[in-house]
Amino acid sequence: MRRATNLISITSRRSGVRVGYRFYATNNNTQQGGSQQNDVVVIGGGPGGYVAAIKAAQLGLRTTCIEKRGRLGGTCLNVGCIPSKALLNASHIFEETKHYFPEHGIKISGVELDLNVMMKSKEKAVTGLTSGIEMLFKKNGVNYIKGHATITGPNTIQVIPEDKSAQPQTVTSKNIVIATGSEVTELPFLKINETNVVSSTGALDLKAVPKRLTVIGGGIIGLEMGSVWRRLGSEVTVVEFLDHIAGDADSEISKEFLRILKKQGMKFKLSTKVTAATENKANNTIKLSLEPVSGSGKPEEIETDVVLVSVGRKPNTDRLGLKEVGINVDNRGRVEVNDEFTTNIPSIRAIGDVIRGPMLAHKAEEDGIACAEYLAGGHGHVDYNIVPSVVYTHPEVAWVGKTEEQLKKEGRSYNVGKFTMKANSRARTIDDAEGFVKFLSDKKTDEVLGVHMIGSAAGELIAEPTLLMAYKGSSEDLARTCHAHPTLSEAVKEAAMSCYDKPIHL
d(CA 452, CA 474): 15
Which residues are CB-neighbours of 367 under 8 A, at least 6 positions away? 48, 52, 341, 351, 352, 355, 357, 382
Which residue in 244, 379, 381, 485 is the catalytic one? 485
Query: Measured between alpha carbons, how far is residue 304 from residues 213, 237, 262, 282, 369 in Å?
Result: 6, 9, 19, 14, 44
Active site residue 452: no
Compute the Cα dihedral for 342, 343, 346, 347 and give only its sign. Answer: negative
SS (H, E, C) 120-186: HHHHHHHHHHHHHHHHHHHHHCCEEEEEEEEEEECCEEEEEECCCCCCCEEEEEEEEEECCCEEECC
d(CA 498, CA 305): 47
Helix (H, G, I), strand (E, B) or coil at 100: helix
> What pairing do the DSSP bridges indicate for beta strands 306-309 and 197-198?
parallel
d(CA 32, CA 142): 7
d(CA 87, CA 118): 7
CA geometry: angle at 63 spanning 60 and 64, to 5°?
A: 170
Catalytically annotated residues: 485
